[in-house]
Amino acid sequence: DGGITQSPKYLFRKEGQNVTLSCEQNLNHDAMYWYRQDPGQGLRLIYYSQIVNDFQKGDIAEGYSVSREKKESFPLTVTSAQKNPTAFYLCASSIGSTGVQYFGPGTRLTVT
Amino acid sequence: AQKVTQAQTEISVVEKEDVTLDCVYETRDTTYYLFWYKQPPSGELVFLIRRNSFDEQNEISGRYSWNFQKSTSSFNFTITASQVVDSAVYFCALSEAPSSNTGKLIFGQGTTLQVKP
């Protein structure tokens, strides 16, 4: 089945630790995105990548980092510099920048 | 700046009622896309529809229909004969102009729909 997988579904970390969220897609999409969702709010764009080995900051990139070494993978690292990392993180992909974005199941990160 | 407003935070209806979710957007772009996504309790966003800014035809898909009016910058979503399975958070989203090549979506705050049996 084609789709987007994110692992793990729930993640718990201590404050001050970096943590990496996985996002894999087998849809052969060129573009991939990371969004953050806080309770009662819409999604906000963290980073996006239109092509392998290239990515750009979104609206709330501070405290986050990404890599795009393979077309199918776009991992997100939440660093200790992110002041409020507890949130629901959603990964998406699309054929191109104008394609429909399809989302993965999300990872709920809790930092204490 | 681009903005999407979903003024209805929560809506509660009884099964079989019709319900309309409102979406108002702001953009200076002449070319853009509008979207609706559904987020069930599981959390994954499910794509429902995409509309091009040049296509103002209303669309119907089963119990779902969408009314796009550029004159009022609105893209409203109606569910006819609602069912319990329609209970979810619904997001309206606006894309940046295709020429920006970002693919960025601007989301509204979402409307939580509860359909009671």
Check if A85 contacts B (Cβ < 8 Å). Answer: no
- CB contact at 8 A, A95 and A39: no
The residue of A5, A43, A109 whose CB has the most chain B CBs within 10 angstroms, and thus the best one to mutate to test that interface, is A43
**Locus of tokens 């090549």:** B101
pLDDT in tens, A30-89: 999 999 999 888 899 999 999 999 999 999 999 999 999 999 999 999 999 899 999 999
- Label the pairing between strands B10-14 and A10-13: unpaired
The beta strands (E) that lie in chain A are given as 4-7, 10-13, 19-25, 31-37, 43-51, 54-57, 64-66, 76-78, 87-94, 102-103, 107-111
Extract the tokens encoding B4: 């999407």
DSSP B71: G
The answer to whether the CB atoms of A42 and B110 lie below 8 A apart is: yes
Q: How confident is the model at residue A1 (pLDDT cuts 50, 70, 90)?
A: low
**Locus of tokens 């800014």:** B53
Q: How confident is the model at residue B56 (pLDDT cuts 50, 70, 90)?
A: confident
**Residue A70 or A96, more confident:** A70
Q: What residue in B sits closest to A90 (Cα-Cα)?
A: B44
Q: Which of residues 5-34 of A touch B (CB under 8 A)?
A: 31, 33
Average pLDDT over residues A84-107: 93
pLDDT in tens, B88-114: 999 999 998 777 778 889 999 999 999
User: In the prediction, which pLDDT does A41 show?
Assistant: 84
